[in-house]
């Protein structure tokens, strides 16, 4: 039997290179070999309180961008989270087995408390529980994610294991983070520190036009240049090399690393090449995004088909879970 794969992206803005190389590129390969579920995480987006006027458009954007990256809605099940109410019920049930202390200790919760001190809602605290429910509702084995999600996957494993132990049944598989390269990766941003993220203002979006991408890359943070031969690049430069590692050929990367190592590097040249190689990845995707976003009939068809397939799988799990917990029909 094929293993089940699940992955989701929050509908909080355009997809960027971090999403693409951290997760989506894996989906495209996986959909042929595995039983795949990919979804637009619109409930998750509520933790930052989007306005009603933006919510639908954001879902539509992520959906169109997902499709433009090569997700095939026939081969995989591509759905919108809020179309599958079974996930909300499983989330409720899983919340009874999640402990406040462990949720408060997660890095992502602590980060959010720092970033949005005026909106520390319970949804932020229980974010890993909803993410766990997203995964185990299809009894998924593999979750293609970037390194930033490692801890949340660990929590999902814990919740699955805890359910099995509590009810004395091997029901949920323990899901594992997955990347074709072996290690979960982190794509850095252009601001010199940290990861590329939708809300960090440091991202190259898949839908960006050529001019915007060149401008963003040319204004990426650098330093004053290497002063000693063979020195290790500091974070802003290491980040540019990390981006190059995913978009450029090995020869190009080796060439610029050599120039750096010999103190002969000109950051302007490095950035020009990087922008060029990013464009080779993003421009074909951008073309497809523009086509798909205007095709409302197609998007509607995709969403309907996805909801139907996702609810069938989710409904089966939920019926079995209710049975295991002890709910019976009168």
Helix (H) or strand (E) holding 52: helix 52-68
Do 252 and 241 contact (CB within 8 A), yes or no?
A: no
d(CA 133, CA 76): 19
Q: Which of 5, 6, 23, 206 binds ligand AMP (CB under 6 A)?
A: 23
Q: Which of 4, 18, 81, 84 binds ligand AMP (CB under 6 A)?
A: 18
Which span (90-98, 180-188, 219-227, 266-274) binds ligand AMP, by CB under 6 A? Answer: 180-188
Do 302 and 296 contact (CB within 8 A), yes or no?
A: no
d(CA 55, CA 80): 12
With binding defined as CB under 6 A, does residue 179 bind ligand AMP? no
Is 195 noted as a catalytic residue in this protein?
Answer: yes
Q: Whole-number minimum distance, CB 21 to ligand AMP, in Å?
A: 6
Residue 184 or 318 having the CB closest to ligand AMP: 184
Is 257 noted as a catalytic residue in this protein?
Answer: no
- Let me know the angle formed at the C-alpha of 189 by 251 and 129, rounded to the nearest 5 degrees: 120
Residue 157 or 198 having the CB closest to ligand AMP: 198
With binding defined as CB under 6 A, does residue 69 bind ligand AMP? no
Residues 6+ apart with CB under 8 A from 314: 84, 86, 87, 90, 137, 138
- Let me know the angle formed at the C-alpha of 180 by 178 and 186, rounded to the nearest 5 degrees: 70
Is 229 noted as a catalytic residue in this protein?
Answer: no
CB atoms within 10 A of CB 201: 9
Residue 181 or 219 having the CB closest to ligand AMP: 181
Q: Whole-number minimum distance, CB 146 to ligand AMP, in Å?
A: 2
Positions marked active-site = 112, 195, 198
Residues at the site binding ligand AMP, with contacts judged by CB under 6 A: 7, 9-10, 18-19, 22-23, 145-146, 148-149, 185-187, 195-198
């Amino acid at each position: 039997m094929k293993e089940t794969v699940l992955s989701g992206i929050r509908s909080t803005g355009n997809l960027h290179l971090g999403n693409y190389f951290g997760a989506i590129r894996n989906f495209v390969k996986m959909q042929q070999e595995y039983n795949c579920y990919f979804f637009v995480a619109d409930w998750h987006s509520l933790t930052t309180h989007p306005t009603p006027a933006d919510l639908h458009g954001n879902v539509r954007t992520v959906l169109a961008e997902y499709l433009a990256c090569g997700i095939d809605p026939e081969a995989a099940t591509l759905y919108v989270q809020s179309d599958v109410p079974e996930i909300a019920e499983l989330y409720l049930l899983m919340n009874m087995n999640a402990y406040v202390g462990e949720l408060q200790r997660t890095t992502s919760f602590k980060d959010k408390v720092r970033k949005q001190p005026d909106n520390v809602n319970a949804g932020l605290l229980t974010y890993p529980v909803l993410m766990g429910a997203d995964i185990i509702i299809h009894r998924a084995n593999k979750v293609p994610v970037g390194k930033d999600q490692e801890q949340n996957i660990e929590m999902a494993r814990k919740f699955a294991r805890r359910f099995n132990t509590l009810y004395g049944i091997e029901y949920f598989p323990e899901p594992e983070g997955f990347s074709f390269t072996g290690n979960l990766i982190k794509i850095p941003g252009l601001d010199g520190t940290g990861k590329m993220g939708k809300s960090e203002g440091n991202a190259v979006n898949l839908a960006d036009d050529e001019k915007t991408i060149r401008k963003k890359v040319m204004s990426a943070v650098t330093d004053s240049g290497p002063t000693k031969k063979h020195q290790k690049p500091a974070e802003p430069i290491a980040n540019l090399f990390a981006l190059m590692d995913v978009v450029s050929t090995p020869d190009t990367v080796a060439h610029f690393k050599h120039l750096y190592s010999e103190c002969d590097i000109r950051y302007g040249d490095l950035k020009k090449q990087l922008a060029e190689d990013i464009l080779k990845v993003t421009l074909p995707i951008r073309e497809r995004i523009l086509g798909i976003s205007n095709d409302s009939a197609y998007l509607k068809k995709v969403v309907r088909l996805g909801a139907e397939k996702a609810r069938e799988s989710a409904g089966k799990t939920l019926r079995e879970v209710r049975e295991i917990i002890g709910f019976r029909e009168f």
